[in-house]
Homo-oligomer: A and B are copies of this chain.
Amino acid sequence: MEGGQQQGVVKHVLLAKFKDDVSPEKAEELIRGYAALVPLIEPMKAFHWGKDVSIQNKHQGFTHVFESTFENVEGIAEYVSHPVHVEFSSNFLPALEKVIVIDYKPTPA
């Protein structure tokens, strides 16, 4: 299992900038909703997020990074089309001024 994860793990990275009219409380609520997907969507194995703390000013206005972990690309496809993700996205995406979503299989250490 552990070996399988090492081989197949795929990171799903979402960079977001919330709209200016989204309050910090609303943003927090949306982020809690994102985290709440983990126990509901089987292929979603882990979730971490954080606010931008960049010092180089190359972040192009993005304010948050969200990183989810999946065992494979098929798991991401299942996640994307899962009803609770679809419902979450319909609330989350309209709150964003801009968003980039990119998936990659990280090299081993």
Contacts and interface: CB of A to CB of B under 8 A. Distances in A.
Given A13-B65, A101-B59, A102-B59, A50 B107 contact: yes
B53 A103 contact: yes
Number of copies of chain A assembled together: 2
Contacts of A105: 50-51, 53
A52 interface: yes
Question: What size tier do the contact residues of chain A reach?
Answer: 35 or more
B56 A101 contact: yes
B55 A76 contact: yes
Interface of A: 10-11, 13, 15, 46, 48-56, 58-60, 62, 64-65, 67, 73, 76-77, 80, 99-109
